[in-house]
Structure 1
Amino acid sequence: MSSAAAHPRTPASGGPPTAGPRAWAALAVLTLPVLLISVDMTVLGFAVPFLSEELRPSGTQLLWIIDIYAFMLAGLLVTMGTLGDRIGRRRLLMIGSAGFGLASLLAAYSPSSEVLIAARALLGLAGATLMPSTLSLLRNIFLDPRQRLMAIAVWGTMFSGGAALGPILGGWLLEHFHWGSVFLINLPVMALILVLTPILVPEFRDPAPGRYDLPSAALSLLAILPVVYGVKKIAANGPTLLALASIALGLTLGWVFVRRQLSLESPMLDMRLFAIRTFSVSIATNLMVVFAMVSSLFFLTQYIQLVLGITPLKAGLLLLPGLTLAVVGHLVAVVLARRLTLGTMIVMGLSLTATGFLALTQLPLEGGTVLVMGAFALVGFGVGISETLTNDAIITAAPPERAGAASAVSETAYELGGALGVAVLGSLLTGVYRLELAAVPGVDAASMDGARETLGAAAVISEEIGGPVGENLLATAQIAFTDGIHATSLVGGLIVAYAALQAGLLLRGSTKHGAVSPEPRRTPDA
């Protein structure tokens, strides 16, 4: 199949070939899954009050609804990234797109919390095929370092753009339709991907991938889920024997996974990549930053709607400046990369992000709209700057034929950071909320127990009780939830500040924003 990616332009200087028009058209197609996944991540937070009212999930079920998607994604990304290297990244992208559409349909019409959790798990399974496929294809299509950096910036821009579009689109849908409509928006995008991908996107695979190791695939998932389960149980019930044993089991399986990769001739995950300082520091930075940022979206959407009393559409508009500045940050990073070192840029971006989190520790019970907008704008702009450079450093460190596995490591850190952020910081928020929500005079014990599950549940119960007693319950719950935000934001800010300090020290003097790599080998059918 003839394409610009298949016939790149070779500069007269003898440098790496530059991409032609068809490669940029392929980039447009590859940003669609990124756009979709980012919309899906942000829009669900706005649907929480609505699905809480209809499905009545417990606090634990609500956290599972939010983060089971990211946990499945994180656990399977390495497996799927390596699988894409073997069967073809374009083929895996199309299989995942079809599965994502079907799982979205199930989620939209879920009759219970249990079914919705299962549907979100299937979304994670399908989503695990999409992200490493798109990023690794960019590594192989764009061989010129500056073009690749721009392509990654566009890729990241679409991720941030989807996060900006999600609240607006989701808010409008939630004001006019059933909460399940936030999942139905996935279907037309998936249809477009399935039509355009075979036409515009070339196929790439590792021509000598070696044996596919099923035990490694199982270990990559089993090492993550027990740890997450244990963290959740500790947050809900304290450090029980079962929770500690679960974490110990996950860490042990993780150690077994690492040892197995070091012993295999063709490992699923090349652990030698972590010996490259730029690679390992960029992975750690992404994990910590997303750990903090995703949790902020989780609690800010609830704060805006259930504490400030703002409609979903207007709530989305409040977060729009921050998400838009994240888009701008990606593009600013491309310009600054020519003048500043990698470490300097990451420190600059993360310092802005940490400042935004510290501002969120001052959120009031009333009149907090301007502070929310300003603080989240700092968070978004800083993240946009730092992530463009870290993502480029990660995929540049790997040889082209292993780009799928390297991209999967990047996305694993991203998704695991987001999942753990919701689990750990979300559980911290829930813990503070339950601790602060004392008994309200006139409210029976059963109703108080229900109100302590989530702020959404407290809003529903207060409306059912009505009168001054109901108003008092809601006001008390809002105070407790805001106190939880203050504690969570402080922890998030400290984590981002540490990430900035670590990057500044370990990447000091580094100028590697990209690397010239040889043209990848391609299969005959590409």
Structure 2
Amino acid sequence: MENSYASHAPGLAGRKEWIALGVLMLPLLLVSMDISILYFAIPYVSQDLEPSATQQLWILDMYGFVLAGLLITMGALGDRIGRRKLVLGGAAVFGAASVAAAYAHSADALIGVRALLGLGGAALMPSTLALIRNLFHDAKQRGRAVTIWTGVMTTGISLGPVVSGLLLEHFWWGSVFLINLPAMALLLVLVPFLVPESRSASSASSAPSAAGAAASREPFDLVSAALSLAALLTFIYGVKEWARHGFAPGPALAVAVGLVLGHVFVRRQKRLAHPMIDLELLGRRAFGGPVFANVLAMFATVGMAVFLTQYLQSVKGLSPFEAALWSLVPASGVLVAAPTAAILAQRTDRAYVMGGGFVFAAAGFCWLTRIRTDSALWFCLTAAAIYVGGLVAAMTLANELALGAAPPDRAGSAAAVLESGQELGGALGMAVLGSVGAAIYSRDMADDALPAEVSTALPGGVADAVRETLGGAAAAAARLPEETGAGVLATARDAFTHGMGLASVGAGAVMVGAAVFSFVVLRGTSERATSEAGDAPEGGDLAPAQTGVLQ
């Protein structure tokens, strides 16, 4: 019996492919968890390593910055050297960096190791999605696999704080990194046996020897890699700083520099014989359209996640761990919406189902506008479950459409473009929706909204903090007489909830626009994607004759 896959034939995937998918989901879960796993651990890290305020921010942000900046580079590299090789290399780097992070003895060392974790994560994420494209050639099976991929990615981000809280109750802060090791070890052992190598056709073509094959591969453009890294890093850094501190010359300059570098990168891709990004593919409705829809979905997802977390902790008074556990409740919307969307997509145009998901999300955001400081917890969580379910349903189908439209030999680059779009959408959501909420909060917390004794009882800087953030108001309230502090905190909570409501209006409006975009622009792309991409053999390490499937 042959021990290979149907990855070079358009047949149905068998049991071995699904086992391989399960193995590939392990690194994806952990990579997405690492985005949020330090949220609870940072106080313990601060106590042990004593970082400055700036170092603490970089400890939190460095992983995400490097991950976002290297996605395009790693996607293109996987297409050239082989996606399985890149997964194995990424797992090795991620595992080694996890050990180094757990035993870091200084803040600077931890920042550097977090950058290495981002490097490993960037190697893993696009490769796992690209390998799905080459393992599952049947559209229905690929749809189910992409649904699993999307669910694991979004679940990992939500699980990060919960896992962190559980570990920190029993172990030291380094345990949040060591949890990565068993999964990475399992990946290194099983992937060579379960996952066939795949790379672009021109990178694996017609060379009689290994040396000849290496010589015949597409050249890897280091200048393009540097440009994509610099453009994404500076742009996302500028947007996040803008969201965190408001408009300032530094963040605005970083955004401008990122845009200029991105323009230079795109112009360079147009001139190259073997570009890192296939601009012709990106211009197709069947690929570029779903990428844009994903940007809009992540805009709302990440932009509103910050509000929900703060509402649970600072308005409803839950502890961080309690808030993390309750924030898992909206995942119930995913459990219902994603399979329902997959079933509907088999019976009608995926664009209509995507549009329906966005409408569902808009309804959830509309519900969120009715939340007040004294609203029941179930009222808030139900609204979140509705919008999260709609968004994940739309994102799953967008991922499936885009991946189906991409030629198998460009699956790595296509997956990287998808994920880079998600990172950009998330950063923009934090900046735009966060700025809306901050502006409403500041307006509602003007001097005439606060008790007169606040300005006289608090130093100028502390009084300013009260007017800027809910956290600043909570800290200041503890320094005031009990009755005055309670009044300040109640006013601040009302102002925050008002800001969250208007940010929800903005998110809902964007979702309505995304629904219209799906109904009008993406209609009919499901069939076109299949005909344009095809599932022809891409030329990998397995011979075309090896097409048996272990059932």
Mapped partners of 1:145, 1:258: distance in 2: 31
Q: Which residue number corresponds to residue 495 of structure 1?
A: 510
Distance in 2 between the 1:73 and 1:335 partners?
Answer: 33
Change (3 A) 1:7 1:47: closer
The letter for the 1-side match of 2:132 is L
Deviation at 1:293, TM superposition (A): 0.4
| 399 and 7 in structure 1: CA distance in 2 versus 1, 3 angstrom threshold | closer
Correspondence list, 1:347-362, <5 A: 347-362=355-370
Aligned partners of 2:117, 2:427: CA distance in 1, in Å?
A: 14
Q: Secondary structure of the equivalent of 1:422?
A: helix
Q: 1:249 to 1:384 in 2, by over 3 A?
A: closer
Deviates more, 1:65-74 or 1:458-467: 458-467
Q: Computing the radius of gyration over CA atoms, which structure comes out larger, 1 or 2? A: 2
- Match of 2:330, SS state, is helix
Contact 1:389/1:513, CA 8 A, preserved across alignment: no
Cα-to-partner distance string for 1:297-323 (whole Å, 9 max, x where unaligned)? 222122212221123443234333321
Instruction: Quote the residue 1:20 is aligned against.
Output: 14
Tell me what 2:462 maps to: 447
Give distance in 2, aligned partners of 1:353 and 1:158: 20
Which of 273, 281, 285 lines up with 1:273 in the alignment? Answer: 281
Q: CA deviation at 1:62?
A: 7.5
Residues 140 and 509 of structure 1: is their aligned pair in 2 closer, same or farther, counting only changes over 3 Å?
closer
Q: CA deviation at 1:109?
A: 6.5
Does residue 1:76 correspond to 2:70, yes or no?
yes
State the AA in 2 paired with 1:445.
G
> What displacement does 1:174 show?
5.1
2:143 matched residue in structure 1: 149
Matched with 1:92 is 86
CA distance in 2, matches of 1:236, 1:312: 20
Q: Is the 8 A contact 1:145 1:514 kept in 2?
A: no
**CA distance, structure 1, for counterparts of residue 379 and residue 419 of structure 2:** 31
C-alpha distance after superposition, 1:110-130 (max 9, x if no partner): 788776655544433221111
Q: Which residue of 1 aligns with 2:549?
A: none
Contact 2:361/2:511 (<8 A) preserved: yes
Pick aligned residue for 2:202 from 200, 205, 208: 208
TM-score, normalised relative to structure 2? 0.83
Say yes or no: does 1:134 pair with 2:128: yes
Letter of the 1:253 partner, please give it: L
Structure 2: distance between partners of 1:322 and 1:486 = 18
Matched, 1:390 2:398: yes
Q: Say if 1:160 and 1:324, in contact at 8 Å, map to a contact too.
A: no
Q: Do residues 485 (structure 1) and 500 (structure 2) align?
A: yes
Report the Cα offset of residue 260 of structure 1: 0.9
CA contact (8 A) 2:95 2:181 kept: yes
Distance in 2 (alpha carbons) for counterparts of 1:255 and 1:212: 20
After TM superposition, list the pairs within 5 Å mapping 1:27-66 onto structure 2: 27-44=21-38
Partner of 1:13: none
- Per the TM alignment, residue 204 of structure 1 is displaced from its structure 2 partner at its CA by 1.5
Which region of structure 1 is more displaced relative to structure 2, 504-513 or 390-399? 504-513
Q: Aligned partners of 1:106 and 1:359: how far apart in 2?
A: 45
Distance 1:171 1:101, change over 3 A: same
CA contact (8 A) 1:358 1:490 kept: yes
The 1:507/1:250 distance shift into structure 2, 3 A limit, reads same
Does the 8 Å CA contact 1:69/1:121 hold for their aligned counterparts?
yes
Cα distance, 1:421–1:231 mapped onto 2, change above 3 Å: same
Give the Cα separation in 2 of the matches to 1:219 and 1:473.
Answer: 48
CA distance in 2, matches of 1:41, 1:249: 25
Query: Alignment partner of 1:518: what SS?
Result: coil
CA distance change for structure 1 residues 238 and 139 in 2, over 3 Å: closer, same or farther? closer
Please tell me the residue identity of whatever aligns with 2:536.
P
Instruction: Say which SS state the counterpart of residue 329 (structure 2) adopts.
Output: helix
Match of 2:166 among 160, 166, 172: 172
- Tell whether 2:430 aligns with 1:412: no
CA distance in 2, matches of 1:340, 1:37: 34
Contact 1:171-1:314 within 8 A present in 2 as well: no
Aligned residues: 519
Give the drift of 1:236. Answer: 6.2
Matched letter for residue 138 of structure 2 = D
User: Which secondary structure does the structure 1 equivalent of 2:196 belong to?
Assistant: coil
Structure 2 CA distance for partners of 1:22 and 1:186, relative to 1, 3 Å: same
Read off the aligned partner of 2:501 and give its amino acid letter. Answer: H
Tell me the amino acid that sits aligned with residue 512 of structure 2: A
Give 1:201's aligned amino acid: V
Q: Which moved more, 1:446-455 or 1:355-364?
A: 446-455
Q: CA deviation at 1:197?
A: 2.0
Q: Look up the SS of the partner of 1:393 in the other structure.
A: helix
Q: CA deviation at 1:254?
A: 1.3
- Does 416-425 or 172-181 show the bigger shift? 172-181
Displacement after TM superposition at 1:521 (Å):
1.3
Q: Give TM-score, length-normalised by structure 1.
A: 0.87
Letter in structure 2 aligned against 1:508 = R
Give secondary structure in 1 for the equivalent of 2:527: coil
Higher mean alpha-carbon deviation, 416-425 vs 345-354, is at: 416-425
Shift of the 127–466 alpha-carbon distance from structure 1 to 2, 3 Å rule, reads farther
AA at the equivalent of 1:492:
A
Q: Which residue of structure 1 lines up, in the alignment, with residue 539 of structure 2?
A: 521
Report SS of the residue matched to 2:375: coil
Q: Match for 2:300: what amino acid?
A: A
Compared CA separation, residues 111 and 365, structure 1 to 2 (3 A): farther
Amino acid at match of 2:539: R
The one-letter amino acid of 2:279's match is M
User: Alpha-carbon deviation of 1:83?
Assistant: 0.8
Task: Give the structure 2 partner of residue 284 of structure 1.
Answer: 292
Q: Is the 8 A contact 1:132 1:404 kept in 2?
A: yes
Between the aligned partners of 1:103 and 1:470, the Cα distance in structure 2 is 45
Rounded to whole Å, the distance in 2 between the matches of 1:111 and 1:49 is: 15
Stretches of structure 2 lacking an aligned partner (at least 5 in a row): 204-217, 448-453, 547-551
| Alignment partners' CA distance in 1, 2:244 and 2:439 | 7
The alpha-carbon deviation at position 353 of structure 1 amounts to 0.9
CA displacement at 1:267 relative to structure 2: 0.6
Q: Which residue type is aligned with residue 155 of structure 1?
A: W
Of 373, 377, 380, the match for 1:372? 380
1:432 and 1:114, CA in 2 relative to 1: closer, same or farther beyond 3 A? farther
Q: Is the 8 A contact 2:65 2:237 kept in 1?
A: no
**Gaps in structure 1 of 5+ consecutive residues:** 11-15
The residue type paired with residue 521 of structure 1 is: G
